[in-house]
Structure 1
Amino acid sequence: MIKSIYRLSIIKVCILVLLGSYSCQNNATNSSTIDAGVNAKIDSLVSQLSLAEKVSMLHGNSKFSTAAVERLGIPNLKLSDGPHGVREEILPHAWDPAGWTNDSSTYFPTGTALSATWNPSLALATGEALGEQARARNKDILLGPGVNIQRTPLCGRNFEYMSEDPLLNAVMCVPYIKGIQSKDVAACVKHWAVNNQETNRTTVDTYLSERALQEIYFPAFKAAVQEGEVYTIMGAYNKFRGVYCCESKYLLRDVLRDDWGFEGIVISDWDATHSTVDAANNGLDLEMGTVVDNYDDYYFANPLIKAVENGDVKEEIIDEKVKSILRVMLKTNMFEANRNAGSYNTPEHYQAAYNVAAEAIVLLKNDKALLPLDKNQIKSIAVIGDNATRKHCEGGFSSSVKAKYEITPLEGLKKELNEDVKVEFAQGYEKTSQLNNFVLSANNTVNEKLIQEAVKKAATCDVAIIFGGLNHDYDSEGLDRPDMKLPYGQDVLIQEVLKANPNTIVVMHAGSPVDMSSFANQVPSIVWGWLNGSEGGRAMANVLFGKVNPSGKMPFTLPVKLDDSPAHHLNLFPGENNIAKYEEDILVGYRWFDTRNIKPLYAFGHGLSYTSFDFSDVSLSQKEVSSSEEISINVTVTNTGKTDGAEVVQLYSHLEDSKVLRSEKELRAFKKVFLKAGTTKTITLKIDAKDLSYFEESTNSWKLEAGNYQLMIGNSSDNILLSKEVSINQ
């Protein structure tokens, strides 16, 4: 054993000498010189590998790892699920938990919650904390973020994704990626591409225009590659224009490699590989899987060796893939003795999770100024609903987190309140659905006994707070919801409690829209609480009692009814004959609602505050610009209330008389502004004139129309407060 350890140590020393102790953080040399030197060293290392050794690096040898090449000191890659927390350890060759006692993680608010903060600095802090925890668990690649567009309210993975808007997706994912990768861990942006439904996800074939691709579905991925410099990308399950995504030359080579300059690893989703020759030649680098027991039988194992020997795949193609893997290993300092060691469940991580949770919470409605509650003015609270006590960390399949702890809303309220305020809990509704092997069997029968208990307690308390919404039987990988209805008879519960106590607050915990039309106009206060991480309960209590002024904004539209949403209004979801046609084209989310004059229940970007803000003195840097110039727009924001708070200034554009279909407005920039009560700040939002372009399919290029553009300032997509006109010349 001692001799074996000694031999491995010698190999590590040799590899470090061969690679020149390369560090991606070495800034002393010109970057082009470093790149040339690194490439030369990678070439040297690849030249020493046999074909069998190369191929062994291109497929999994456990559920979440690849093979090492010990002869040359090349380590294996260790991957982990973890868009909002490093997943618990599982057995190497099965999905059962490994039974570790030290693999609990900090559970961070999910993707939609993070995006609801509209605060890129929190995305950076989240990424940094996740990277540190991944390194402490000895992981090399963290499988996140998910940046697919929320095309339908029913998509089971909406909670993981960020937004219905491509710009908000892009702006939030870039710092998240940079945060992870700053800790010597590769981020893995997913799922590439147009993976917008879970129904028939492994076989559905998606068709959409090139313009919709470029304007709606590509921007976040492009930003991840070109701005975030993401090291890895996960190929999606679905087909795209008749070809599986993990063997699509258009997606993997033409767009990623040739157009965007991606140099990292393209990883298949687990069991998303369907061929050897096509997948290898068209750009897939690493095959991961779940079903095949013998790893040598993977498409990228013995069949790939045979394909090379038969001349169907050139060995140069294999070399490309190995070089991509080695490049990521170098960038994450996997050969370095002083690689970032990481840290685990630190107070800083908990604080980062709390900060996101607090800023994510959205105040949708606050009639009668029922919120914030004053603990000195109330003597009793009825806390009602299964979600008041339910923990959401261990759910959603690949998003499951074995959390060190998760504070529920009821726990958060009890910690916040002193003994003078009596807290009465009633379950209100019962979780009766069962989720097995991605199949949901739901029983939405109203539980009259639980409702009567809730009504009785609500009637005797000063205030009733109902914690409802969804759980991971509905917000989950592997299945889409059957409809937008609240499960378990919650509509009846809310109506009955409201009759018993008019001072009723409804809190929705969900990562996707739900139908609130039966009570939204009657309940005085509605709060959107998300699946909000380890500190979600504490953050919720602090918002409800005014320690935190809510500043979250909705990252997606809340429709009145499902048929108002584009894919459902046009009867396009989930498709016919396993083909999904995106005929709504660029009119996704608020673009559809605004352009078609359909009033939502709550608009994209909507979110109230306990204070008030005034926008004034909007001005442009210049009234006429050329296509190569930058546009700056200044606006003064004043906190006119008596409470410190934050507002999100949102900049939209509109072009009248366009030659092509344009949505009524498009988000172009935003900034979150924190202001003390009574203070004023002038902020500047900047956009490049070329960012107002549309994608012209006939020339396969971006085209900027000359004309007069309205630049509109508001605090939601349906609340535009100021505007200025800028003229763009060719």
Structure 2
Amino acid sequence: MTYKRPSFRVLCSLVLVAFTVACSTSEKVQTSDPQASALSSNEGNGINMSHEAQINELISKMTLEEKVNMIHGVSSFTSGGVPRLGIPEMVMSDGPHGVRPEHGRDWALDNAGNDSSTYLPTGVGLAATWNPELGYAFGEVLGSEAKARGKDIILGPGVNIMRTPLNGRNFEYLSEDPYLTSRMAVGYIKGVQSQGVAACVKHYAANNQEIKRAKVNVEMSERALRELYLPAFKAAITEGGALSIMGAYNKFRGQYCTHNQYLINDILKGEWGFKGLVVSDWGAVMNTMEAINNGTDIEMGTDLLQMPNINYNKFLLGDTVITLVKSGQVKEALIDEKVRRILRVMSHTNMIGAKRTPGALSTKAHQETARRIAEEAIVLLKNDGNLLPLQKTGVKSIAVIGANATRKQAMGGGSSQVLPPYEVTPLQGIQKLAGAGVNVTFAPGFEVTRAEKANQALIDEAVKAAKSADRVIFVGGWTHGYTDAWNGGAYDAEGADKPSLKMPFAQDQLLTAVLKANPNTVVVLIGGGPIDMSQWIGQTKAVVQAWYPGMEGGTALAKVLFGETNPSGKLPVSFPKRLQDSPAHALGQYPGDKDTVNVEYKEDIFVGYRYFDTYKVEPLFSFGHGLSYTTFGYSDLKLNRQGDAVQVQLQVKNTGPVAGAEVVQLYVKDEQSSVKRPEKELKAFSKVFLKPGESKTITLTLAKDAFQFYDEAKKGWVLEPGKFQILAGSSSKDIRARGEVTL
């Protein structure tokens, strides 16, 4: 049975009438969706504060019990409303890459015909496009479909930095780099909220591992916090105008993040001026008084073992709060502030009074967006001898090998499950595009099971298929593989980290045998991040990173393999040669001290390429790396200083035979500093689409903050005078042009 929102017709107060009029008369700025109008204001970081008087008057009409009912969950995915005042429950939904198929009040599938949503590529795939315009398109699809399914808040995007490649939720996140993460997140958030649905950026903050996530206490320097782990959250709020933010499970410097005085009161609501609402991760509230005093606005959570007999009034922000207020231990004004923030979000998403425009669910246009993102997300990692693209005219037989070629991934991964109306697998995409003239065979080669042992019969079958084919496409890598996610043993799933970087299910043994049987093997990797390729990378000619490419992933992959689409994806995360080369494992601490469950970020600011470049550790594939079927030339780099900012001009030319896109990455290097700084840091980028022989001049501006570092002694950002190198490259390791400026 589909949950229906309480009727808006019950408007029992003149206050609400005034509130409704205020909402409607303020909506004058038109965008692609009329509901975006209230969201377009930057007052209060995305919150239009002109409704405050009406909100305050509405609060004055509420009883204490009604207020408290609004600050905690009343079902699995809703917080409480006030029916007599026409205030509905607020409906939240997981779905950072597609609206989750839950009913709305519980975890069960909707089963009412409206639970099928567009399955978009996961977050790391979106970031691999390096195309903020696609971030906006991605968000538009999510917002529209959330609205169509009666959701008010979409719980995404996830912007936690990829500190360790083992993190089970890296596939949901965007990058190891705060600048790239910020740019993609801002587009995503604006796209969602253009549809009149609130985005909820998560998980604030330092939620960089799934193992022990509810126990670990993260310790890091203030500089690491400011330079790496906060910038994307700040951009989401101050630039993206995110209306809500989710507190993380872990502790930060001894206090749980969801009610952390420093993170929420001092930084989020203080320094950044955030006027929206803070939602706890499910079950992340651990202390009533801290939650009351330290900025938690809504406590969410569900004990699956107690369903359906859960007494939501017994939440930590439930009946206890009523008792504390009535006894004088807590000021009611603190509860009013939480309700005020909730009503602000309701106002801006047209939940009260105003009528929402309809959304759309899994339309052809949305599916087309999913395909475009998947195509731009695919990264060509290696292509020796131009094995790719495959030529239909010269290839008569293709053996597709690997269980991931037929495995559907949409319902894996935990809270980001999506139920699409269809999902094109890699095998289906290849079969369709290859056409009748090419004989395509399939051999699974491995089984996705709890057992990690090789299946020799399947390997023998795969080797036989490889020997008899002109070309082999091996489709392997990670899988959401829900073998036992909550107790370990899962890959790319919430609640568990990967046990190692080795491909599961004995795929290394399988792939080594296949490569020996047929050297013309293209390796396609599915998954949320790097794997250890040391056993076979030297024997393979071509490697393609496809991530989790969404419902049109098979189509997108086939178009890249056969050259109908020129790959333009770039890695948003460094691929180490081995796990020990990753900074969290080489310098830092993971998964945490066994006795205190402290995790010390001893690698400090040297995460990802910042570590590899500075400490001269060679990665397998560098941050920003991605090949093309064409080539690009860089020339005429010009720098124009404008105060403490620098305007950069650069000409880019397609010097190859086919149309393609290049991501020009701009890095800044401080030649001399009073503190240790990374070798270089990404501070701007631009994706340029060029026809063969075409040239374009791009202009990028490096603002003052591109040259600053966080000074812990001064408790602020500092630009030290001196020389800075401006490095333009195709990756962090492939620098094509450079200049120098003195500030």
Structure 2 residue aligned with 1:526: 543
C-alpha separation in 1, matches of 2:677 and 2:272? 25
Is 1:329 the equivalent of 2:332? no
Secondary structure of 1:20's partner? Answer: helix
Question: For each residue in 1:44-70, what CA deviation from the matched residue of structure 2 results, as whole angstroms up to 9, or x when unmatched?
Answer: 101111110000000010000112211
TM-score by length of 1: 0.95
Shift of 1:97: 2.8
Aligned to 1:119: 131
Counterpart residue number, 1:25: 27
- Change over 3 Å in CA distance of 1:282–1:125 after alignment to 2: same
Corresponding residue for residue 691 of structure 1: 706
How far has the Cα of 1:27 moved from its partner?
Answer: 3.7
Q: Are the counterparts in 2 of residues 21 and 335 from structure 1 also a CA contact under 8 Å?
A: no
Deviation, structure 1 residue 222: 0.1
Residues 129 and 349 in structure 1, CA contact (< 8 A), matched pair in contact too: yes
Map 1:601-616 onto structure 2 (within 5 A).
601-616=620-635
Q: Structure 1, residues 474-496: CA drift from partner, whole Å, max 9, x if none?
A: 00000001110000111111111
The answer to whether the 8 Å contact 1:359/1:550 transfers is: yes
SS across alignment from 1:702: strand
Aligned to 1:39: 52
Shift in CA distance, 312/599, structure 1 to aligned 2, threshold 3 Å: same
Partner of 1:306, secondary structure, is: helix
Residue 454 in structure 1 maps to residue 462 in structure 2? yes
Identity of aligned residues (%): 51
Per-residue CA distance 1:444-497 (angstroms, 9 max, x = gap): 111111111000011001000100001112000000011100001111111111
Partner residue of 1:266? 278
Q: For residue 90 of structure 2, give the secondary structure of its aligned residue in structure 1.
A: coil
Matched position secondary structure for 1:633: strand
- Alignment equivalent of 2:695, drawn from 680, 685, 694: 680
Say which of 625, 633, 640 aligns to 2:655: 640
From 114, 127, 130, the equivalent of 2:142 is: 130
Deviation at 1:86, TM superposition (A): 0.4
Q: Which residue of 1 aligns with 2:607?
A: 588
Counterpart residue number, 2:262: 250
Cα distance in 2 for residues equivalent to 1:221 and 1:31: 16
Deviates more, 1:100-109 or 1:471-480: 100-109
Are 2:368 and 1:351 aligned?
yes
Matched, 1:178 2:175: no
d(CA) in 2 for partners of 1:142, 1:278: 26
Residues in 1 aligned to 2:13 and 2:405: alpha-carbon distance in whole angstroms? 55
Q: Does 1:617 align with 2:636?
A: yes
CA distance in 1, matches of 2:214, 2:605: 24
Question: Residues 365 and 526 of structure 1 are in contact (CA less than 8 Å); yes or no, is this contact kept in structure 2?
Answer: yes
Whether contact under 8 Å (1:12, 1:335) holds in the other structure is no
Please report how far the alpha carbon of residue 98 of structure 1 lies from its aligned counterpart in structure 2 after TM superposition: 4.1
1:282 matched residue in structure 2: 294
Q: 2:103 aligns with which of 90, 108, 112?
A: 90
The change in CA–CA distance for 1:91 and 1:83 in structure 2 (over 3 A counts) is closer
Aligned to 2:33: none
Secondary structure at the aligned position of 2:380 is classed as strand
Instruction: Report the Cα distance in structure 2 between the residues aligned to 1:501 and 1:55, rounded to whole angstroms.
Output: 66
Q: Classify the secondary structure of the residue corresponding to 2:699.
A: strand
1:51 and 1:320 map into 2 onto residues whose CA distance is: 13
Alpha-carbon displacement from aligned partner over 1:491-544 (angstroms, at most 9, x marks no partner): 111111111111010000011211011111210000001101010000000000
Root-mean-square deviation (CA), in Å? 1.8
Q: Does the C-alpha gap of structure 1 residues 18 and 648 become closer, same or farther in structure 2, counting only changes over 3 Å?
A: closer
> For the residues of structure 1 that align with 2:12 and 2:277, how far apart are their CA atoms?
23
1:349-428 superposed matches below 5 A: 349-428=366-445
**Which of 110, 116, 122 in structure 2 is aligned with 1:110?**
122
- 1:125-160: CA deviations, max 9, x gaps? 010011000000010000000000000000000000
Q: Give yes or no for contact 1:89–1:100 (8 Å, CA) kept in 2.
A: no
Which one of 476, 487, 510 corresponds to residue 468 of structure 1? 476
CA deviation after TM superposition for structure 1 residue 312, in Å: 2.7
Partner of 1:213: 225
Partner SS, residue 356 of structure 2: coil
Question: Partner of 1:149 in structure 2?
Answer: 161
Say how many residue pairs are matched: 710
After the TM superposition, which residues 535-614 of structure 1 pair with which residues of structure 2 at under 5 Å, given as runs?
A: 535-570=552-587, 572-576=589-593, 577=595, 578-614=597-633
Equivalent pair of 2:160/2:205 in contact (CA under 8 Å): yes
Report the Cα distance in structure 2 between the residues aligned to 1:35 and 1:516, rounded to whole angstroms: 51
Structure 1 window deviating more from structure 2 (264-273 vs 13-22): it is 13-22
Residues 304-341 of structure 1 show CA distances to partners (whole Å, capped at 9, x for unaligned) of 11121233321111011001000000111112443121
Q: What residue is the counterpart of 2:170 in the other structure?
A: 158
Residue 184 of structure 1 aligns with an amino acid whose one-letter code is G
2:717 alignment counterpart: 702
Cα pair 2:375 2:557 within 8 Å, conserved: yes
Corresponding residue to 2:684 among 651, 654, 669: 669
1:11 aligns with 2:23: no
Any idea what SS the aligned residue of 2:607 has? coil
The CA distance in 2 between the partners of 1:18 and 1:480, in whole Å, is 47
Distance 1:31 1:88, change over 3 A: closer
| C-alpha distance in structure 2 between counterparts of 1:36 and 1:694, whole Å | 33
Whole-angstrom distance in 2 between the partners of 1:26 and 1:314 = 38
Q: Which residue of 1 aligns with 2:203?
A: 191
CA–CA distance in 2 between the matches of 1:332 and 1:198?
A: 32
How far did residue 102 of structure 1 move? 2.5
For residues 361 and 727 of structure 1, do their structure 2 counterparts lie closer, same or farther at Cα, with a shift above 3 Å needed? same
Q: Distance in 2 between matches of 1:6 and 1:682?
A: 55
* 1:313 alignment partner, one of 330, 335, 339: 330
> Deviation of residue 25 (structure 1)?
3.5
Counterpart-to-counterpart distance in 2, 1:204 and 1:126: 33
Aligned to 1:57: 70
8 Å contact from structure 1 (residues 277, 312) kept in 2 = no
Q: Residue 715 of structure 2 aligns to which amino acid in structure 1?
A: N
Which whole-Å CA distance do the structure 2 matches of 1:37 and 1:133 have between them?
Answer: 28
Q: 1:228 to 1:153 in 2, by over 3 A?
A: same
Q: 2:80 aligns with which of 38, 42, 67?
A: 67
Q: Distance in 1 between matches of 2:175 and 2:73?
A: 32
Name the amino acid aligned to 1:446. A
User: Matched residues in 1 for 2:712 and 2:6: separation?
Assistant: 61
2:493 and 2:682 mapped to 1: Cα distance? 28
Asked whether the 8 Å contact 2:588–2:601 carries over to 1, the reply is no
The alignment's TM-score, normalised by the length of structure 2, stands at 0.93
Equivalent residue for 2:669? Answer: 654
Question: Aligned equivalents of 1:523 and 1:188: distance in 2?
Answer: 42
Aligned-pair CA distance for 1:278:
1.1
8 A Cα contact 2:10 2:85, kept in partner: no
- Which residue identity lines up with residue 20 of structure 1 in the other structure? V
Distance 1:538 1:22, change over 3 A: same
CA distance in 2, matches of 1:272, 1:158: 20
* Residue aligning to 1:500: 517
- Residues 1:8 and 1:355: Cα distance change in structure 2 (over 3 Å): closer
Cα deviation code 1:195-227 (max 9, x no counterpart): 000110011100000000000000000000000
Query: Residue 7 of structure 1: CA displacement?
Result: 8.8
Cα separation, 2, equivalents of 1:150 and 1:564: 14
CA–CA distance in structure 1, aligned partners of residues 629 and 8 of structure 2:
61
